[in-house]
Amino acid sequence: MTAVSLRAEAVDVLQRLIRIDTVNPPGNETAAAELLREYLEESGVECELYARVPERANLVARIRGRGGGPRLALLSHTDTVLADPVEWQVDPWSGELKDDHVWGRGALDMKGQVAASAVAIASLAREGFRPNGDLIFVAAADEEVGAGFGLQWLVEEHPEPVRADYAVNEGAGDRVELGGNVFYLCASAEKMSAPFVLRILGRSGHASIPGIADNALVKAADVIRRIAGFQPEPSYMPETEALVRGVTGGELPPVEEALDRAREISPLAAAVLEPLLSLTMAPTMISASRKRNVIPAFCELTVDRRLQPGRTVEEAEAVLRGLMPEDLDYEYELTEAQGGTRSPLDTPLWDAVDAFVQELEPGARPVPLCVPGFTDSHWLRAAFGTVAYGFFPIRAMDPEVATMLVHSADERVHVDDLELGVEFLRYAAHSIGALE
């Protein structure tokens, strides 16, 4: 199978995936799972669908290993966020090939990697590839919302089909130039998502006589200012230490100086580093009175909070209590706490990423990254101790442009990067598949 035909094959699969509307909610990922099953079975890949409800199926496909070698999972999800066609230059579900890019919702997040993973395992199967351990392809549902239909449900209800020693997922892969050196970001960790709701309590009254009431909305304004103005104490992690050393040529400045040093060298480095040095809290939603002339007795404030791996919710809650006014009457509710896992770097999968990058671009090196958001890698790490990295190399598209296009209008992927992704996934399959 030539590179040219793999490139065309990946473009075709991606276009067909984009044309299936899997906006979550409601998802309707079964249509995408069935398309992938039909495509893969034509190449002799073993496939199975697993669904909590019929319309939200997960695909698990595999090439069975010859012996007791480690299992490698190519992990992906088929659902997407919504898209408003009015904001787009093309139909978000057209899969249009334009200016060497495939356009459409999910092209970057993450139907492009779904298509590349499918083409990688299908082409390997056609070539008669037989690894020592199973090569698994998971196209999961429900990553964007996480309502219990996707990988979380699979590891709980059908763990054996998705059990893996190593996994390649989304999260990074961007080529960046920092301090005169070329790096490819590889996500080896992610922050914990621990959002919460504050209910600030007051006393209602008629808005025409504001002095007789205790306006919860006004009290919430002070809370919002306190949270938004919070300056957390920074601390290094293994991933941020490696990133800073890469930017500075090996030097590790005091953590209090790290952001300024990174900013001097590269604004992009500073933008990547800043949310990773500490806890972050961002007020995002608020609701109070439902009538213009009624002063609210309570105001509900939702805050998105992200913790560094290894930090606890209890530590973050103590920080929050320290920010609240002493006389404030409020209620606190933790709405979820998930993520916050990491994988070691001294592994055969890291070696495979490193070797691929150096073959691709001599002198370039991968650098570990902690993802500020959440990915499905967490479920495999937590359930099986899987070494999971987010790596899908992007070289043709500018990383800042790619970042801006995710979840935004005019999302698209360059066909060169789509082809490069297929090449890397095949490389990783050969590398891990050779292990005893």
Task: Give the angle subtended at the CA of 56 by the CAs of 55 and 58, to the nearest 5°.
Answer: 130
**Is the bond into 404 cis (omega within 30 degrees of 0)?**
no
Strands (E), 362-405: 365-371, 387-390
Residues contacting 414, CB < 8 A, separation 6+: 100, 101, 394, 396, 397
pLDDT at 17 over 50: yes
Q: Please, which pLDDT band fits residue 211 given cuts at 50, 70 and 90? A: very high
The pLDDT of 268-291, averaged and rounded, is 94
- CA distances to 137, 143, 420, 428 from 353, in Å: 18, 24, 13, 7
pLDDT > 70? residue 434: yes
Q: Model confidence at 325, in pLDDT bands (50, 70, 90)? A: very high
Q: How far apart are CA 225 and CA 219, in angstroms?
A: 10
Q: Is the pLDDT of residue 41 over 90?
A: yes
Share of the chain above pLDDT 90, in %: 92
- Please check whether residue 341 is in contact with residue 189, taking contact to mean a CB–CB distance below 8 angstroms: yes
Q: Which stretches does DSSP call E strand in 64-165?
A: 72-77, 97-98, 101-103, 135-140
* pLDDT band of 328, cuts 50, 70, 90: very high
Residue type, 92: P
Alpha-helix residue ranges (DSSP H) falling in 94-158: 111-126, 151-157
**257 has pLDDT over 50:** yes
The per-residue pLDDT for 249 is 85
Q: What's the pLDDT tens digit per position in 338-397?
A: 999 999 999 999 999 999 999 999 999 999 999 998 899 999 999 999 999 999 999 999
pLDDT tens, position by position, 392-427: 999 999 998 999 999 999 999 999 999 999 999 999
Each residue's pLDDT tens digit, 75-130:
999 999 999 999 999 999 999 999 999 999 999 999 999 999 999 999 999 999 99
Tell me, what's the pLDDT at 247? 84
Interatomic CA distance for residues 381 and 166, integer angstroms: 9
Q: At 334, give phi and psi (nearest 5°).
A: -80, 125
- Could you give the CA distance from residue 206 to residue 224 in angstroms, rounded to a whole number? 24
Q: How does the average pLDDT of the chain come out, rounded?
A: 96
Residue 51's identity, in one-letter code, is A
Structure token pair of residue 329: 């009457």
- pLDDT for position 265: 87
pLDDT greater than 50 at residue 276: yes
Instruction: Give residue 4's pLDDT.
Output: 55
The answer for residues whose C-beta is within 8 angstroms of residue 361's C-beta and 6 or more apart is: 175, 182, 395
Are 181 and 268 in contact by the 8 Å Cβ rule? The answer is no
**Hunting for tokens 């449900």 — which residue is that?**
153
What pLDDT was estimated at residue 1? 43
Q: Which domains does the chain have, with CATH numbers?
A: 3-171+375-433 (3.40.630.10), 193-233+278-338 (3.30.70.360)
Please, what sign has the CA dihedral across residues 199, 200, 204, 207? negative
CB-side neighbour CA atoms (13 Å) of 341: 21
